[in-house]
Every structure is written in structure tokens, then in C-alpha cells.
Structure 1
């Protein structure tokens, strides 16, 4: 019961399920540029083109709402890209802390390939992060434990080179790598005996999930309050998960997202 309430609260904060079914969106939105302040708040709104589910070959547009709230240089933060978290230790450009992320549910009515698979409940993922940030580079490592919709371990690594092409144009780009344990892979890519009977898929029990890709964002700073960001990511599902009937049979191991968001921000 307590887990369900916590997951529901996180979903409410981060928006609608369509924003993160692909598992790619949180990794590509950059923090909005802003001068230093006790509080830094920004809200982005736009549109997102993403797969119907992780592994799908069909894409759809959905609205995108991207909050980004930070207090005392990320001592506390809430954002679509970085989750809900707290920085506990700092040393120079390196920081460590705790993070909580949502993973939105999957509805079997979202795509014909999912019919008979049943729904996957929304999940929360809690764990720790290690980050590095300077004016030219941003990198992070995360390890999280799922609860609610899945009970697997997940890990994410990302690295961005940040280039200020002009005072008002910021380009960030770099590699992405994600991993999911056997429990995670079975939840989103496995086919058990009952699902096989309903769908006609062969039974499938993956041991792991991997995703490797590259992401980029281009931000145009209009003034001290407004900016426009275009972003995208493309990569491949790897490991056992790539052989799932939901990917190899009815979907595609190549996954990507494209989006455009207008951001407004202030500091105090």
C-alpha cells in the first residue's frame, strides 16, 4: 500500500505516462541555463515523438511537460531529466546523492503487439547517483532498485560534451548506456506461459536488458527567462531483451525519441 502511494505521487509530479514509456526521455533533456540563485525553477512544455513502448516499431506524438526545480546548487532537485533527489556529498566538480525516478506503466491497448500481454503497473526506482559537472562536460552514473511495477535493478550511465556555439546557443551531446537485471527484463520483455497462450508468442525468459545510444540537445537562449530546446536520442536494445518477441518479432531493437520544448525560468 505504501509503495503504491509513493509511486502514484511520483507519477503525478512527473506528468502523463506517454512522456516516459520509451525510457529515453529522462536522459536527453538538459538542465535549463540560468544564473546562480538560492532557487532555480524552470518549466518546459512541448511535444515528444516516442515509441509506443520500449521495443516498439510504432511511434506517436504526445505533449511534454518538463519541470526543473533546484535548490542551493542541486542540494535538492526535481526534474524530468534527473528525477527527484538530494545531493549528500560534494568534492569539487563531483557530487553524490540519492535519487528517485518514475517508470510509467504499459497498457496492452497501446499497441497491437501488446494485446494479451496484460498491463504493466507504474513503478518507482530509488537509488544513488554519482555525477561530474564542469562548464564543458557532464557525466553521471546511477544504480536504482525498482518497486511497484517491477522489482529489478537498473543502471544508467551518460556523458555529455557541452559546447557554447554562441553566447545564446548551447549544444550538448554524448553516449548513453542502460542496463536492467533479469527481473527488469522479464517484466518488460519476457513472455510467460499464460501470455504465450493468449498471444501466440513463444515463451521467452530474458536474463538481462542493455541499451546503448547517443543523445543530443540544442538550446537557444532567448533571454534571461526564455529558451527553446530541441533534443533527440537514438540507440539499440541489446542483450537478451533484443530477442524478445515484442522487439525482434513485432517491434524493433532500434529506438529513438525526438522532441521540442519551450522553457521559462526564474531564480531567487
Structure 2
């Protein structure tokens, strides 16, 4: 998963949440690839933005028995009952380089992290909902959770809209890694020591997909929200950044199978 998104997108974790629900054509295999551009914050909490390329693969086998996508990560469905299914999920989070932004100078680098856990999802023709709980390893050792809900509207055969709320949470270990300032970081950066207890993010995402033909489509998407909880008081957010976070993207997709 480290090769399919820009570092800023994967580090903020906003882009996968903003992407629209995947279409579900019939077939044992569903394979597509997308390429485009993304405007996203330099780091989670930044008030500066970066324009970067974005790649969005979509590989699904037997109704998500196994899947790989930028939106849903790498996973496997273990239990299924009607429109509700649950399983195991693995996501990646890029590291953070102190040279990415002047506000990070003296904070040191954060290694890339993996996040593994469980998901619970609901999907029908009009609604897509998901809950995830994941444990970090590598760059951070915190617990994270995400919730999202999308209302999907097919206005015409070639025009699909989706929109809905997003909510994310990170434990104390997660918040300290990305928003905390320890004694050594305070000495190097000039920030006061800061030890957050949690991280929250609440926002709304929307997308519009135009189907060009039976293989090609173009999707525009965006998300805007606020960092909440102790993390919002971090000097990386309240002092040198912004609690309001937003991103916008455009992806041209090509369906290979079926």
C-alpha cells in the first residue's frame, strides 16, 4: 500500500476516507486502476497544502472475499450476513519528515507505520457504511478507529454522487506520536512540551463520478473537517497549523475486469 498514494495523503489518512464507494459490477474479479492529482495538507494539522500525484488501484475477488484498494485498504471478508460483512483489514500510514514543513523543524522524523485490525461494513444500492478498529505498529503504536457513512445517488446512468460524514479517533499513543512535543523535541524546536491524551477528527466528504463509457470514468472528490480533542491544542496545530483540514482530488479511472 505504500506505493499507491502520495505521502501526505496516506499520513493524513483523509484521502481514503474521501474517495467514493467502489462500484460493484458483476464478476468474480473486479479490477480497475485510477490516476490523478491530490491537494492535501503537508501533515496532519498543517495549514499548508501540497499538490501530488495519486494512484488508486481497485482489486476485488468474489464480492470482497479478498480486496485491495486505496479507500478500503488490504483485507479479507471473514463473515457475511446479507448486506453486512466483517473481516480483517491492513492499512499503511506514511511517515513524517521534519523537512516537509517549517513547522516540523526540530520535531524529528516519524517512520512509516502499519495498522492492522477489524472492519464492519454495510452496503446496499443507496448506502455504504463502515467501522474500523486498528492497532498501529512501526511508526506508531496507538489504537485508531474510523467511521464513515455515504449516501449514494445515481442521478443518471452516467452520473453518480456520494456524500456523508466521517469520524476518526486516535488513542493517547497515536496522539503523542503525531501531535505531542517531548523534552528533546521542545529543546530543538522551541515549542513548549505538550502531551495530548487523544485525537479526534470530524468531517464530511463528497464525490461526483462521471462514467465516460463502459471502461472509463472520472471522479472528483473532497473532504473538509476539524481536528478535535487534545490534539487540536498541539503547537503543530493551534500554533503553526490549523485544526481545519481539507483536501481535493481528481482521478481518471479505467476498469480492466469484468
TM-score range, shorter chain: over 0.9
- 2:145 matches 1:155: yes
Deviates more, 1:255-264 or 1:21-30: 21-30
In the TM superposition, structure 1's runs of 4+ consecutive aligned residues that sit over 6 Å from their partners are none
Q: Give the aligned partner of residue 23 of structure 1.
A: 13
Identify the residue that residue 110 of structure 2 maps to in structure 1.
120
In the alignment of these two chains, the number of paired residues is 258
User: Helix, strand or coil for the counterpart of 2:222?
Assistant: strand
> Where does residue 3 of structure 1 map in the other structure?
none
Q: Which residue of 2 aligns with 1:135?
A: 125
Counterparts of 2:22 and 2:169 in 1: how far apart (Å)? Answer: 27
Of residues 81, 98, 109, the one that matches 1:108 is 98
Once residues 101 and 33 of structure 1 are traced to their aligned partners in structure 2, the CA distance between those partners, rounded to angstroms, is: 21
State which of 255, 259, 262 in structure 1 corresponds to 2:245.
Answer: 255
Alpha-carbon offset, residue 106 of structure 1: 0.4
The 5 Å alignment of 1:31-180 reads 31-180=21-170
C-alpha distance in 2, partners of 1:30/1:264? Answer: 15
Instruction: Tell me, in whole angstroms, the C-alpha distance in 1 between the residues paired with 2:87 and 2:59.
Output: 16
State the match for 1:4 in structure 2.
none
What is the distance in 2 between the residues matched to 1:64 and 1:16?
Answer: 6
Aligned 8 A contact 1:170 1:220 in 2 = yes
Contact 2:223 2:247 (8 Å CA) reproduced: yes
Deviations 1:155-193 (A, max 9, x none): 000000000111100000000000000000000000000
| Mapped contact 2:92–2:115 kept (Cα < 8 A) | yes
Q: What is the distance in 2 between the residues matched to 1:261 and 1:108?
A: 29
Under a length normalisation based on structure 2, what TM-score does the superposition of the two structures give? Answer: 0.98
Question: Shift in Å at residue 96 of structure 1?
Answer: 0.3
Q: Is the 8 A contact 1:38 1:267 kept in 2?
A: no
Shift of residue 32, structure 1, vs aligned partner = 4.0
In the other structure, the counterpart of 1:5 is none
**CA distance in structure 2 between the aligned counterparts of 1:225 and 1:31, rounded to whole angstroms:** 17
- Aligned residue for 2:2? 11
For the residues of structure 2 that align with 1:153 and 1:243, how far apart are their CA atoms?
Answer: 20
Instruction: Report the 3-state secondary structure (helix = DSSP H, G, I; strand = E; otherwise coil) of the residue aligned with 1:135.
Output: coil
Distance in 2 between the 1:68 and 1:251 partners?
A: 33
Q: Say what the alpha-carbon RMSD is for the aligned residues.
A: 1.0
Matched, 1:201 2:191: yes
CA distance in structure 1 between the partners assigned to 2:36 and 2:104 by the alignment: 27
Question: CA shift at 1:33, angstroms?
Answer: 2.8
What secondary structure is seen at the aligned counterpart in 2 of 1:54? Answer: coil
1:11 aligned counterpart, secondary structure: coil
CA distance in 2, matches of 1:23, 1:34: 24
Q: Which runs of 5+ in 1 are unaligned?
A: 1-9
Contact 1:32 1:263 in 2 (8 A): no
In the other structure, the counterpart of 1:222 is 212
